[in-house]
Amino acid sequence: MYPYYAALIAGIVLGVAGQIALKLGAEGSQTIALQFRHPATIIGFAIYVVAAVLYMISLKKIPLSLANPSVSVSYVAVAIAAHFMWSEPFGLQQIGALVLIGGGAASGPARNLASSTVVCRPRMPLRCGKRPKRATISRWRRAERRAPELPASCMVAKRATERS
C-alpha cells in the first residue's frame, strides 16, 4: 500500500511543479501561440502527464474519496509558491480560502481512512432470477462476520440477492 501513497504524494508534488512551469511559460511569451512553443510550457505539460500517471497508479489501491481531498493540498502549495516567486497577492481573502481548503483536505482523509477498509460484498448480477452459487454466498457471509457494519449500498445488494 505504501507505493501507492508514494505515487499520490509524488503526483501532487509534480502537479505543483507543472503549474509553476506553465506559469513560467505564460510569462515568457508574448502570444498564446508562442506560449505553446515555449520550453517551460512544454515541460509543464510533460510534468502534468507524469503527475496524471502517478495519480492513476495511486487510485488503484487508494479510494477516490481519500485521494481527491489530498490533491487539494497542491492548491495551497501553488498559492504560496506564487506569492514568493511572483509577488502575487496574499491577503486575508487568500489566507481564508487556503485555510478552508487546508481544513477540508485535513478532515477528508482522516474521516475517510476508517471507511476505506470496510468490506462490502460485490453486486452479483442475477441471471434469469437464479441465486448466486453457494460458494459466493458463504464468502459474503464470512465478509459480514469480519465487518458487520456494511454501508447502506451493500445492504441493498444483500436484500436483492436474498429475495431471489
**pLDDT tens-digit profile of 89-117?**
989 999 999 898 888 777 765 544 444 44
Domain match, 65 and 125 both: no
- The residue that leads in pLDDT, 71 or 141, is 71
Q: For residue 106, what pLDDT is reported?
A: 73
Residue 98 domain-assigned? no
**Mean per-residue pLDDT over the chain, rounded:** 79
C-alpha cell, 53? 500517471
**pLDDT tens-digit profile of 117-145?**
444 545 544 455 555 556 666 666 666 66
Residue 29 domain-assigned? yes
Domain match, 27 and 83 both: yes
User: What count of Cα atoms within 13 Å lies in the side-chain half-sphere of residue 88?
Assistant: 13
Q: Calculate ∠ Cα 151-154-158, nearest 5°.
A: 135
Domain boundary residue, one of 50, 77, 92: 92
Structural domain boundaries, residue 72? 2-92
Q: How many distinct structural domains can be found in the chain?
A: 2
Q: How far is it, in rounded angstroms, from Cα 16 to Cα 13?
A: 5
Domain match, 125 and 79 both: no
Q: How far is it, in rounded angstroms, from Cα 60 to Cα 21?
A: 28
Is the predicted pLDDT of residue 49 greater than 80, yes or no?
yes
